[in-house]
A and B are shown apart, each in its own frame.
Chain A
Amino acid sequence: MKPLSAAPLSPSVKVKLLRAGFDWEEELRGLEPLELSREGGLSLEEALEVQQILTRGVEQPGGGGLTALELLQQEERSIVTFCSQLDALLGGGVPLGRTSEVCGTPGVGKTQLCLQLCVDVQIPECFGGLGGHAVFVDTEGSLVVQRVVDLAQAAVHHCSLQDHDPEQQEAMKTFTMETILEHLHLMRCHDYVELLAQVHLLPDFLVRHSKVRLLVIDSLAFPFRRHFEDLSVRTRLLNGLAQQLLQIASQHSVAVVWTNQMTTQLVPVLGETPGHRAARGLLVPALGETWGHWATQRLLLHWEGPHRLASVFKSPNNMESSVSYSITQQGFRDASSSLSESKQPSSSLSESKQPSSSLSESKQPSSSLSESKQPSSSLSESKRPRMQEGQ
């Protein structure tokens, strides 16, 4: 016997049925829609809908679950980041079927990491990749296609150095910069309504495009950081969104990666003279502390002097620690001394990772950290067409 109050019916219908004295789902099963509408005081449409919902529930029982052993056998592979230290830290890369959050101050390389993943997910299986497609949901308008082209070319080049057996050579024919761009689905959302709608439609999209293995939302925080007078509405929307993303990750075995911004939180400093309340600012991920529960793992990208560091600070199966990485013309890479040195003075290349304090965005808290992740728009607009809509 299943209590009716637990059924996924709309509250008003539920109240009517409960008032009419129906306690259990089973009591409704045997009734014809007409009877139900008479007895329950519902309209005929409502009665039909109730019956549909209940029969759907019967046809798709929750199932007996899995044993952990089966789960272990299923446990998905990961998308490599091309930064071997970070891969090691994450236990092989960004795992499929799970959600990951990338936090960081502007310009530290969140988008770079996301783009790198979009390219890496497409590496053919014979090279140890996944041969999947990617969906990139862009809310900030920060995607620069030329940058994807750079990363794609670097990845193709990297693989072409290793094609030893015929199978790999065969695979290389379909692993080109063009196919990489072709298999990267872009979706541009301008505000949170569009984002929610897009995510709502994603399950259907993923059924149609079953090869998609990566969903990136860059950034998830941006549309939610304004236009909200009532924070409880925001919390509710965010929680609903997160639940949908979890569901997508698990049901379509897709790695879901979203980026989050940082915000300043005032933390009272202990040990000060009494009566004088001192506080220091602490950079914490935006969207509130509760939000932090949603992602299965959280990665924080930050600066440590001139070096970029990636820290895992929430993960079910990995040690919490930091590694350094760098962003080169080829993309997201290990920090090697030669690279990091060559990175500093170069100003001739029109690379997106270059420091250019003049471009610092308004949301950046301190210009010393600032490094625009976009090339100057005035320069680039002419030669770099932006892709606006992906569908």
Chain B
Amino acid sequence: MVVLREGMCPGLDEDVVRDLLEDLVASDTEELAQKCSVSYKALLAIRRVLLAQHTAFPVSGLDLYEELVSSTAILSTSIPSLDKLLDSGLYTGEITELSGAPGTGKSQVCFATATHTAHRLKQSVIYIDTTGGLSATRLLQMLQVQTDETGEQTEALQRIRVFRVFDIFSLLDCLHGLRCGGLQQASLGGGSVKAVILDSVSAIISPTLGGKQNEGMSLMMQVAGTLKTIAKDFNVAVLVTNHMTRGPGGEPQAGLGLSWSHVPRTRLLLERSDGAGPLLGSKRTATLVKSSRRPCHIKAEFDFNRGSRPEEGLLGGVRVRDGSDP
């Protein structure tokens, strides 16, 4: 809703200022002209100016495509089998979601992507940590696997900007800050921001859901909307993590309900390869659950080698098994 105020455009004076813009636009101009004793033509002009000020601008599909072709980048997750599932990596301008039970390696994939982007691609990364799970030590560990140069490691770490937020309003504040200049600022340190990682989105949203749902749902959709806007407008890849729930038949499902399920463009489900329960092991299975590029429900297996000794681990301590389609 937009309130009409005096002086918003020439000709709009007190008489007309009664209502919301929506009502003005929707109402019959002729009737209104009689009611406010303003000329029909003047009202029409006002209407047109106001509309032009407040509507979205139509873009030709051709322009959009050309812009997209010149600006889209694909960020590798540094895990080849996952990249294969994702059709070579995370696309900028999109939201990709990783969902899975606790300890299935969601954060590890985030770390791997962050370090890879910061070190190999020399681009900046925004990492929004909502669970306190980000471990700079682990990031360093992954970088040490990739390079021996302390200078390079330091540089890469400097390219990763970390925000720690613990409630939804600070998250919205933070995202809003990013949208209004924070992203450009963060790019100053060399390399533009190419990835925004939100780990985890469910941790911050789930406490607001339930009970009086409307408020929580509205906030959730705002987070979703802001993330999408950031992804599109700044052309960055957004990677979020989500928890996993079980459907009525016990089948794994991404959390946060139906409304959220429409938000990410691509969704991966991570599971332990070795069955249910807190068993030890580093093998993980990733299943593509939603994608607009690849057929769904293909699987790949990968292996976290968390000890990440350089001679064993390949690329950031994540050792890769062959991706296998079912």
- B277: contacting residue among A66, A99, A247, A284, CB under 8 A: A284
Bound together, the chains give a CA A247 to CA B135 distance in angstroms of 16
The interface centre, meaning the residue of B111, B137, B278 with most chain A CB atoms within 10 A of its CB, is B278
Contact present for A321 and B280 (CB under 8 Å)? yes
Residue of B nearest to A72 (CB): B136
- Which residues of chain A are within 8 angstroms of B244 by Cβ–Cβ distance? 289
B218 within 8 A of A: yes
Task: Answer whether A292 and B101 are a contact pair too, CB < 8 Å, given A62-B177, A316-B107.
Answer: yes
A69 within 8 A of B: yes
| Stretch from B77-85, B89-97, B158-166 at the A interface | B158-166
Task: Answer whether A66 and B162 are a contact pair too, CB < 8 Å, given A235-B210, A292-B103.
Answer: yes
| Stretch from A13-21, A143-151, A172-180, A356-364 at the B interface | A13-21
Within 8 A of A (CB), among B200-217: 200, 202-204, 206-207, 209-212, 214-215
Task: Answer whether A66 and B161 are a contact pair too, CB < 8 Å, given A5-B222, A6-B172, A22-B3.
Answer: yes
- Which residues of chain B are within 8 angstroms of A64 by Cβ–Cβ distance? 161, 182, 185-186
Bound together, the chains give a CA A66 to CA B165 distance in angstroms of 12
| Stretch from A124-132, A294-302, A372-380, A383-391 at the B interface | A294-302
Interface size class of A (residues with CB under 8 A): 35 or more
| Stretch from B34-42, B45-53, B124-132 at the A interface | B124-132
Within 8 A of B (CB), among A85-135: 91, 97-99
Contact present for A290 and B255 (CB under 8 Å)? yes
A239 within 8 A of B: yes
In the complex, per-residue mask of A18-35: 1 if CB is within 8 Å of any chain B CB, else 0: 111111000100000000
In the complex, per-residue mask of B172-192: 1 if CB is within 8 Å of any chain A CB, else 0: 111011001010011001000
Task: Answer whether A296 and B132 are a contact pair too, CB < 8 Å, given A20-B3, A22-B3, A69-B154.
Answer: yes
Contact present for B162 and A71 (CB under 8 Å)? yes
Within 8 A of B (CB), among A275-325: 282, 284-285, 289-290, 292-294, 296, 298, 300, 311, 313-322
Contact present for A247 and B166 (CB under 8 Å)? yes
- A316: contacting residue among B135, B200, B218, B222, CB under 8 A: B135
| Stretch from B67-75, B138-146, B260-268, B285-293 at the A interface | B138-146
Contact present for A250 and B154 (CB under 8 Å)? no
Contact present for A72 and B157 (CB under 8 Å)? yes
Expressed in whole angstroms, the minimum distance between the Cβ of B139 and any Cβ of chain A is 5
Residue of B nearest to A234 (CB): B210
Interface size class of B (residues with CB under 8 A): 35 or more
A349 within 8 A of B: no
Expressed in whole angstroms, the minimum distance between the Cβ of A94 and any Cβ of chain B is 13
Contact present for A23 and B255 (CB under 8 Å)? no
Task: Answer whether A5 and B2 are a contact pair too, CB < 8 Å, given A68-B157, A296-B133, A320-B282.
Answer: no
The interface centre, meaning the residue of A5, A99, A246, A300 with most chain B CB atoms within 10 A of its CB, is A246
A141 within 8 A of B: no
- B132: contacting residue among A19, A240, A249, A292, CB under 8 A: A249
Contact present for B1 and A21 (CB under 8 Å)? yes
Bound together, the chains give a CA A57 to CA B212 distance in angstroms of 25
- Which residues of chain A are within 8 angstroms of B282 by Cβ–Cβ distance? 319-320
Bound together, the chains give a CA A284 to CA B1 distance in angstroms of 50
- A23: contacting residue among B1, B177, B200, B222, CB under 8 A: B1
Bound together, the chains give a CA A298 to CA B133 distance in angstroms of 12
B219 within 8 A of A: yes
Contact present for B160 and A314 (CB under 8 Å)? no
Contact present for A236 and B207 (CB under 8 Å)? yes
- B3: contacting residue among A6, A21, A284, A321, CB under 8 A: A21
Bound together, the chains give a CA A65 to CA B154 distance in angstroms of 17
- Which residues of chain A are within 8 angstroms of B3 by Cβ–Cβ distance? 20-22, 27
Bound together, the chains give a CA A45 to CA B296 distance in angstroms of 54
Residue of A nearest to B141 (CB): A317
Bound together, the chains give a CA A240 to CA B209 distance in angstroms of 10
B11 within 8 A of A: no
Expressed in whole angstroms, the minimum distance between the Cβ of B312 and any Cβ of chain A is 12
- B169: contacting residue among A7, A22, A27, A318, CB under 8 A: A7
Q: State the A residues within 8 Å of B (CB).
A: 1-3, 5-8, 11, 18-23, 27, 57, 61-62, 64-69, 71-72, 74-75, 91, 97-99, 232-233, 235-236, 239-240, 242-243, 246-247, 249-250, 267, 282, 284-285, 289-290, 292-294, 296, 298, 300, 311, 313-322
Q: State the B residues within 8 Å of A (CB).
A: 1-3, 20, 101-103, 107-108, 111, 114, 118, 126-127, 130-141, 154, 157-167, 169-170, 172-174, 176-177, 180, 182, 185-186, 189, 200, 202-204, 206-207, 209-212, 214-215, 218-219, 222, 243-246, 255, 276-278, 280-282, 306-307
What 7 A-B pairs come out closest when comparing CB atoms? A292-B102, A21-B3, A314-B103, A317-B138, A72-B136, A68-B160, A239-B207
